Amino acid sequence: MAKYSGYTDRPAVTINEDLFNIEKYIQGLSRFILECNTPMTIAIQGDWGSGKTSFMNMIKGEIEDKVVVSWFNTWQYSQFNMGDEISLSLIRQLINTLPGLDEKTSDSMKKIINGVAKVIKAGAIVAAEIGGFGNVAEGVVKVVDGTATPNAEQIDATLSLGLLKDQFQKCIQQVLKTSGKERVVVFVDDLDRLNPAKAVELLEVLKLFLDCEKCVFILAIDYQVVSQGISEKYGNALDEEKGKAFFDKIIQVPFKMPVALYDMYKFINNMLEEMGFKYELTGKDETIEYYIKLIRASIGSNPRAIKRLFNAYLLLKNIYGVDTELDEVGQRLLFAILCAQLSFENLYNYIVLHKGDISNGEFLPSLKEQKSYLDGKNGSSIYKELGIKNDDELRRICNFMEIFYKAIDHNDDNDLSEEETEKLIKLLNLSSIITTNDLSENKDEKSWIVRRSNRRLVKQSIFFTQKKYKEFNFKIYQSNQDRGDWKFQDVSAYGDFSIQKNKVEFCFHLQTDFDTETTKIIFRFDENNNPNKNNRGVFFDNLSQWAEANDFDCDENKCFSKLVSTVRYDNEDGILSVLNNEVKSILDSLKALYKAL
């Protein structure tokens, strides 16, 4: 039976759970930890969700029988607004988890920690000599202002600071002697979840007080968090170069999570197997490689983001399956839609709001081309509407749409069938239930059915099926909402032709009124865009006479319109007949007038 339990954010515990084939990195770093000189501090760097905790867990599993291990998670402490106490909590946690300490040594250490607590609470630990941060390790601790006379409590606290490192070193020596092991390895997780300034303070404590022989510290943190923390704590006192020097002073080995090198095939294959995916139309390798392309072109290789993607996918797949099982093509399409939604939200919203244009064979293919966003009558507005920041982002969007389109056009014939279009629109509607934006059209099913029917009839007319009408450059337009007399279900096909330097634009509309249950077929043409409209010549005089003789109305802007016919809205054969005969006759007359010049 297929599993639809979803994917939790639980980190991997042992190397047996390695789904990315990163074992060589784990083993290599584990060997380094066992063999390196001490003291040593290693930073495991990566974005949230990149797998830092899993990575450290697997390292811990590889070395814990050879070293003394202590694990500290800063996230649980940060939730309680412990402020300055978090540094002391780390030290207390270390003491409590170190095996083999006798009671006397443990009590002595706790007294010293309490003394240090007085220093911290009194605000005595401050940054010193900020301008010369190259010697930060020796300059961070400063007891009050040198011009002030310290009281007895401050003297005791200062002595406690001096004793802390020495006493901690004695604790380490005793633990190693008792355990028979050679070093202590301390894992500090989720540093990048702290307030950045607090994360920097914790790093200072680690360096100043716990920099002891036979100790290796493994910290889950990213340089960007440290950089931000330094900026928040010290303001403009440190430039970027000195900030990096601070990081380098504390961290001897920066290790970046090899996210770009993750074996995505193994990971995706495991997820598809867990959900009982069946490869009916395409082979296993081809399907998995396509899913990998979608993921890499959208959310990237972040494991947490991928799990979130698959959870959304499982939820929607189950909702769809209440009525009918989603086939393999539909599953692939739904997955592609969710990739767009999670990574290119503005693009996804744009497609949803223009889903009525999907049946137009040009709409989706145009989103694969950069020029569609930049050129033409609507190009620049699309670039602006999507909030595209730069050309790199535009290239990413177009690259994704190239891959996305293959999920829709599953037979790869570069022509969306009515069935493919219907499936895409249905899944777009389904996907909207997990978006953070309200994209609902508030349109009933009848409006959608008639909207698609009107568009389909226009595309089935001779103007789109016979080659001789290609010279008119017909395009289709539908509005995404009611605009005055123009309704959501209405459709317009528009084109143009030129006479010498003059241009005539024309269109025919299907306008459906649900109150009267009719569809009006209207033909319009316009010479208002003619650059020579004040000197139209014989042709445009003849054109105006022809329009009046054929019962066209004319407004003050020289826009001509005629109600060609009114047909019951659900009489598709009748509507198509009007288009292929009466509208054709009008357009042929215009064409004949053009040829007569």
What does 143-170 look like in DSSP terms, one character per residue?
Answer: -S-TTS---HHHHHHHHHHHHHHHHHHH
Q: Which domains are delineated in the chain?
A: 22-258 (3.40.50.300), 262-440 (no CATH), 461-595 (3.30.1460)
Instruction: Evaluate if residue 442 carries a pLDDT over 60.
Output: no
Task: Yes or no: say if 480 and 441 are a contact pair by the CB < 8 Å rule.
Answer: yes
Cα atoms found within 13 Å of the Cα of residue 318, Cβ hemisphere only? 13
How much is the average pLDDT of 479-485? 76
More confident residue, 277 or 288: 288
Nearest Cα residue to 350 out of 360, 359, 340: 340
Lowest mean pLDDT among 237-251, 469-483, 576-590: 237-251
pLDDT of residue 138: 37
pLDDT of residue 33: 96
Instruction: Evaluate if residue 151 carries a pLDDT over 70.
Output: no
pLDDT of residue 129: 34
pLDDT of residue 405: 92
Pairs from 143-149 (Cβ < 8 Å, separation ≥ 24): 143/119
Q: How far is CA 457 from the centre of its chain?
A: 38
pLDDT of residue 4: 47
pLDDT of residue 459: 87
Q: Give dist(CA 386, CA 217) in Å, integer.
A: 45
Instruction: Evaluate if residue 456 carries a pLDDT over 80.
Output: yes
Radius of gyration of the CA atoms of the chain, in A: 35
Q: Give dist(CA 404, CA 290) in Å, integer.
A: 10
Instruction: Evaluate if residue 349 carries a pLDDT over 80.
Output: yes
Phi, psi of 551 (to 5 degrees): 65, 30
**Placement of tokens 């450290």 in the chain:** 56
List C-alpha distances in Å: 429 to 254, 343, 439, 442, 565. Answer: 46, 18, 9, 12, 34
Name the most confidently modeled range: 235-239, 323-327, 344-348: 344-348
Share of the chain above pLDDT 90, in %: 30
First to last CA, the chain: 74
DSSP H helical ranges for 297-358? 303-320, 328-343, 345-353
Lowest mean pLDDT among 8-12, 148-152, 164-168: 148-152
Phi, psi of 152 (to 5 degrees): -60, -40
Q: Give dist(CA 78, CA 354) in Å, integer.
A: 45
pLDDT of residue 253: 92
* Average pLDDT in the chain: 80
pLDDT of residue 206: 75
Lowest mean pLDDT among 155-169, 312-326, 505-519: 155-169
Which tens digit of pLDDT belongs to each residue from 378-402?
A: 444 688 778 888 989 999 999 999 9
How much is the average pLDDT of 287-303? 93
How much is the average pLDDT of 364-369? 89
Lowest mean pLDDT among 87-101, 330-344, 464-478: 87-101
Query: What are the DSSP E strand ranges found in 215-257?
Result: 215-220, 253-256
pLDDT of residue 118: 63
Model confidence at 238, pLDDT cuts 50, 70, 90, reads low
Model confidence at 528, pLDDT cuts 50, 70, 90, reads low
